[in-house]
Amino acid sequence: MLWGGRFNEELDSNALKFSSSLNADINLIEEDIAGSKAHALMLAKVKLISKEEAKKITAGLDKILKEWKNRSWNPDPEKFEDIHSAIELKLFELIGDTAGKLHTGRSRNDQVATDLRLWIKKACGELTKLAENLQHVLLKIADKNTGTIIPGYTHLQRAQPISLAFHLLAYVEMLERDKKRFKFVKKSANSSPLGSGALAGSTLPLDRNFTSKQLGFETPTANALDSVSDRDFILDFLNACSIGMMHLSRLSEEIIIWSTAEWNFLELGDAFTTGSSLMPQKKNPDLAELIRGKTGKVYGNYIALAAAMKSLPLSYNRDLQEDKEPMFDSYFTYGASLEIMSAMLSSAKFNKERFASELKNDFLLATDLADWLVLKSIPFREAHRIVGEIIKRLEAERKNFGSVSLEFLQSIHPAFDKTVLKCFEINSALKNKKTYGSPNPELAKKEIKEWLKKVR
C-alpha cells in the first residue's frame, strides 16, 4: 500500500477486495498516465526533480501504457486499490526509486479529479459524434419521406396528419439538444484540479498553469477544497446521458409500435430482431426493447451518485469512489444504444402507403375544417363547435369525412361552400400548412437541407 508507513498491519484481504475500484477505474489508465506525465514535466520545470528524472519517469509511464495495451501487464484487483496505485507500483518496478518522486506535491485526491475531468471531456466528444451519426441516419430517412403521410398523435389518439419526415425531424431536434448538453458538460469539466493536493494546495512551488495547459484545460480550478470534492460535472454528464437515453427510449417505443401487425408501418432487418423459442412466426424488436429497458438503469446511475453526494462534508470522502461505476456504465450503455439505434433504423423498411387511403376516411382534418370556417369570419370557438357537431352527426350515422357532401355541411351551417371540399383532400393537407415548423413538405425539405449542412 502506498500509505502503509503509518500502519503496523496490511489491509485485510477482504477489506482490500471490498474497497478496490480497479475494475472500474482501469478505464482511466490513459488519463492517469497523461496527468502523471504532465506533473513530471512540471516538477522538472520548477526544479523539484531533474530533467533526466522527468524523462525517466515519462519513459516508464509510456512503457506501462504500452504493456497494458498489448495485454502484457494487467493489474490484479485483489492486489491493488485502484489504477493509480497499480501504475505507481509498476513504475517502481521499472525505474526504481525515481518513481517515488512522481507523487511530489500531488495527492490521489487531485490526481483522480484530474483524470475524471480528462475522461469526461473525451467521453462527451465521443458521444456527441455518435448522436450526430444517428441524426444523419434520421435525416436520410426523412429526406425520402417528406410526402409520406402518417397520423400525428396526442394522448395516443389520432390528432392531425403529419409526414414521417416531420416525425423523425422531431428526434433530430432532441439529439441536437443532447449534443448541446454534452457541450455544456465538456465546458464544465474543462478546468484542471492538478496541484490542489489533498484539499489545501501545496507549500511547494508547483506551476498549476503549466500542467493545466499541458493537459488541454482552459484554466486551473480556483479553490483546492472544492476542486478535489467537486463531482457536479459527473452529475451533469449522467443527467445528459439520462435525457439522451430517454429520447432513444421514446423512439424505441415508437419503433416497437410501428413494427406491430396492427400498425404495419415498418419492418426491421433480421439482424436487429429475434425470434421465439416457441412461436415460429415471431419477429421481435428486441433491440429496441433493450434500449427502452436500459434507460431505467441509466436513470439509476444518476440517482446513485446524487444520493452519494447529498450529505458529504468537504472535502474528499471515500464515498466519492462510487462516482466511477455509474459514470462508465452510463457512457457505455448510452454509446452502445446510439450505435444500435443508428444501425437498426438503417435496416428498417417503411411501408409508405400504409396510411394513404385509410386517413382519407378519418377525422384527422377536423382542425383544418375549423380553420376554414375561421377564414369565413366565424369565431374559432364557434367553428370548433360546428365541426364537433358535424363529427357527432357522422359518427351517429356510422360515416366519416370520406362520405361527407356539401349538402350535408350546409345543413349544419350556411357558411359552407364548394371550396370547403378541398379540406378533405388528405394529400393536400400537408401542403396547406403555412407556419414555420409545420410539416409542409417544402418546409421539411428546406429543414432537412439545413440540417445536412450541419450534420456529417
Which residues belong to the active site?
155, 276
In eight-state DSSP terms, residue 12 is P
Place of cell 413538405: 441
Question: CA angle, corner 71, sides to 66 and 72, nearest 5?
Answer: 80
**C-alpha cell belonging to residue 412:** 349544419
Rounded Cα–Cα distance for residues 299 and 319 (Å): 20
Listed in sequence order, the residues at least 6 apart from 364 whose beta carbon sits closer than 8 Å to its beta carbon are 151, 152, 158, 159, 160, 161, 426, 429
Buried b (16+ CB within 10 A) or exposed e, 356-388: eeebbebbbbbbbbbbbbeeeebeeeebbebbe
In eight-state DSSP terms, residue 282 is -
Rounded Cα–Cα distance for residues 398 and 321 (Å): 66
- Beta carbons within 10 angstroms of residue 395's beta carbon: 11
Rounded Cα–Cα distance for residues 376 and 417 (Å): 10
315 upstream amide cis, omega within 30 of 0: yes
